[in-house]
Amino acid sequence: MAGQKPTVSLKTKIIGLLTVVLLILLAVDILWTYESQKQATESVLLDEARVLVEEMNAVWEFISINQDTINYTSDGEYEYKGLHCAIAGKSVAAFFSKDNDYAIRFTNTVPRNFHNEPNDYELAALSAFSDGSGTEEYYGFDETEDGTVFRYVSAMKVTEHCTECHGKPEGEIDPTGYAKEGWETGDVAGAVSVVVPTETSFANMRTAIVTNVLFFLAAMLCMAVIIYFVLTRLITNPLESLRRSFAKMSDGTPSEPPESEGTLRPVYASRELDALFDQFNDMAQSLSSLYANLESEVDERTVQLSAANEELERQRAHVEKINDKLKRENQYKSDFLAIVSHELRTPLTSILAFTDLMADSVSSDNALAAKQLEEIDKNGRILLEMVDNVLETARIQAGSEKLNLELVDLNDVVGMVEASSESLALKKRIALTTRVAPDVPLIESDWEKVRRILVNLVSNAIKFTPEEGSVEVNVAYDESSATVTMDVADTGIGIPADKQELIFERFAQENMSTVRRYGGSGLGLSLVKDLAAMLEGSVSVESELGCGSTFRVVLPAKRHAEVHDD
């Protein structure tokens, strides 16, 4: 909400942001420390396993080199003692693993002793050694029933000392009583598998992580305290001092700081805050000097404002009088038009009625009298139509015109308009044609007002169309907008582009020559516009001077429920 004061202080926001940043840094530090310690622990365990394998390989190599010394007597005769490299290596590994959690053993894909069958991890290592990639060691952490251990498997290659018992020919019985495997120097003979316990290493890793995190937390806490102290002394305290000064200024008249305090400047402010306080002090001094003349200026402006208000009040009263006068005059005009039109309509109706009676009694041989009665009837009906337009306009202006809504068949309306206008068109030898599209539905409207719209448009078209011209009435339905379009097109004199808006104004025609030549009051098209608006429609014109005009009325097929007729 505008004007609402913030509920969180600047210091709190900065400390909160700092806390979030520190927590993110702490999380990153924990992850980095954990990964680095894990890698360091793995490196230590790998070095330890490699040392054990090197020692076992040394024992294996020592026994292999000294086989002749072990199995030959001092007389040079061969006497197998049952001590060979495999026995020595397995025995040393068993003695080493006896009193601890380390495990060292030798394995092969085709072991001579079932105790040396490889497990899944060792099978994966032997497969990696034999795939031709040159891999000679395979290691990593593994989960067992006793927990996490470090597994290290190192490849054993066939040497020249190994071929005596494991070389060719394959299948021959060696000195130990087993069939030879047919290996050649450089082949993978098997692997040394080492299992190193990780409990002590992981405990050391956890200790290192906790120590590092605690140190980081202590450093961050010290940094936070320092930042808080610096923030308080360099920013929040000077800003609070500035706020108090503003509060004093808002409570009363602006004044300079007390003489004992001098100009407002905090002791621990920075260069930016010093500039801010200098500007504040300059502003306070300017306000103090301005305030001296403020009261007199306010009094002067108050007097001027009072005079202006009085003048405005006089002008408002004058405008109200003028508006009331205009309303009365407009009402007088509407009443005058209604009364005069009504009074004119009554005798005109009588004249037309007597003209019809006289026309019936005139002999067919008296062509002159018939012609004169025809002219009287024609001009009387034109005058009656003009009087009706005046009456209709007066009722609309007075707000007394009502809508009589019903379902309207536009075929009937167009047919009646065509019948009433056909005689006038025939006299001017004008071709009057009408067409209502088959898909035009019954519309919800006022039958009489739709008729008056078409009558005015068609009579206007006939009036301004020269002899042997044409007037077309077309009615169509637009399903997408649910509207009915009534077009009245003629081949008349046309309307200039700059006059096309003017013709819909009351008592307005294109020019005075048009009035003298064609007659009329200038109310027909303005009445069409007013009636179309009452029916929630619109009227427009497209015209070219000398080529004719097309007037289009668009009416809704169904009125909106929320629109009231009054």
Which tens digits make up the pLDDT trace of 508-518?
554 545 544 45
Measured between its terminal Cα atoms, the distance across the chain in Å is: 42
| Residue pointed to by tokens 């402010």 | 269
Q: Which residues, 6 or more positions from 471, have their beta carbon under 8 angstroms from its beta carbon?
A: 425, 430, 431, 432, 433, 458, 461, 462, 465, 488, 489, 490, 491
Structure token digits, residue 55: 């020692």
Rounded Cα gap, residues 391 and 334, in angstroms: 9
Reported as a single tens digit per residue, the pLDDT across 289-335 is: 777 677 777 878 888 888 889 889 889 888 988 888 887 776 776 66
pLDDT (mean) for 104-110:
81
Reported as a single tens digit per residue, the pLDDT across 379-388 is: 777 777 777 7
Structure token digits, residue 215: 């140190």
Rounded Cα gap, residues 551 and 458, in angstroms: 10
Is residue 565 over pLDDT 60? no
549, 525 in Cβ contact below 8 A? no
Domains in the chain, please, with CATH? 13-206 (no CATH), 403-556 (3.30.565.10)
Higher-confidence position of 150 and 4 = 150
The three-point CA angle 44-46-47 to 5° equals: 65
The three-point CA angle 375-504-396 to 5° equals: 85
Is residue 4 over pLDDT 80? no
Rounded Cα gap, residues 341 and 338, in angstroms: 5
Q: Give the model's pLDDT for residue 266.
A: 53
Q: Count the alpha carbons within 13 Å of 363 in the hemisphere toward its beta carbon.
A: 2
Reported as a single tens digit per residue, the pLDDT across 417-462 is: 998 888 888 888 999 999 999 999 999 999 999 999 999 899 889 9
| Residue pointed to by tokens 């000679």 | 136
Q: Which residues, 6 or more positions from 493, have their beta carbon under 8 angstroms from its beta carbon?
A: 464, 465, 466, 545, 546
